[in-house]
Structure 1
Amino acid sequence: MNVPVILALGAIIVFAVVMGVVMSREKDPQRRAAALTRTGAAVMAAFTVIGGIFIGGFAMQDPGGTTGTLLTLAWVVPMLILAVSAWFWPAATAPLLLALASAFIAACVWLAFDPAALSSFLNDNGPVIAVSVLALAFPAAILGLKVTALAGWLLVGLGVLPLLITIIGRSGAVGSLIAASLVPLACGIAYLLSARMARAGSTSGTIHPAAA
């Protein structure tokens, strides 16, 4: 098991422990939902930083120099722009993220039909699919602080579909992709649970006064 996978599993374990503590102490569904969302976003942010350090470190080794720096900036800068946009303008950013994720998944499907070309592409450019998952998942996690359910489905899709397509198409090594997919998947599930809790809490809050 490689280091990125271990880190991803560690992040999920930490997330599970924190949420276990929160759920045991907090009884209000709305507060539980908010805590679940914030924790998911925090874990995704921490994993993105750690993953970015690893990816940047590898890029500085191979190809290294200015090329390595430019390759790192090529995904970090757009990711940060999308994250800022998701925070300040979620309504406008949500369809953009959905379109980018759909295009990315479509590209994964297309590449799965030509494993040899994909293998050559990955050998020349590194784990582009895994990096793309990370670069889209972080803005989606930020979006989840504003539009939780939609971001949850987006994160689940990013965590499952590229990995599933790659495995089915046998179109490349999946170690780095597994590492990049685990935390977005866990964060997406957390967001969906949070959205459900929030709806349930809102419904119960509406019903109880009427019953009284």
Structure 2
Amino acid sequence: MPCYQLDEDLWFPPLEAAEDYGLLAVGGDLSPERLLLAYSLGIFPWFNPGEPILWWSPDPRCVLFPSELHVSRSMKKFMRKGLYRVSIDENFAGVVYWCRRLRKGLDGSGTWITPEMEKAYLRLHELGFAHSVECWDGDELVGGVYGVCLGYYFCGESMFSRRTNASKLVLIHLVKKLAELGFELLDCQQTTDHLVSLGATEISRLEFQQHLRIAEVPPYGPLLSRFSKSVV
């Protein structure tokens, strides 16, 4: 079945219409209204420079339940050293910048964080729906993760590391913060060995939708972010 072509109206096809590899729809825009509608339904954008906007709903979906976070013995030992400082929402723009830069090849390829995407998530951050966790070595930003938060659901978008263990450190602090606030799950979108080592697992699209309901992700309208600014 071919994927759906979006128009100017705010809508998405049913998730069951997605291709086997997860592609659901093409087109539309990256306005806050459309992005928030997408995330409230469990849909996210992911496309390369020069491509139209592509919207995805993978099946299975990689998620990390806060209660299932796994921190290795070696990582616990590393964390006890206190080499780095971790913060929340202290430099969202910097995290997005480094996520984009470190994935960008010499020819400009290799990243889905286009200037259009960067601008869109900075706007979501201004509106209180996108958040970041940062890792600092003194005054230098050396690691970070950012994502979108609705209800008790956090969708991780990207992370970066400029020091050994920096990306693991911010992800661990993020998940611990989510557990503290009673969040249902962290959406990892794509499965990687790095995420699995921290306790991530794959669930079906149907299970994912059920967890979104448990997470009190509201239908599009008065959306609410429950991830507060604080220092970890």
As a proportion of its length, which structure holds more helix? 1
Which entry has the higher C-alpha Rg, 1 or 2? 1
TM-score w.r.t. structure 2 length?
0.29
As a proportion of its length, which structure holds more strand? 2
Q: For CA contacts below 8 A with separation 6 or more, give which structure has more relative contact order.
A: 1
TM-score w.r.t. structure 1 length?
0.31
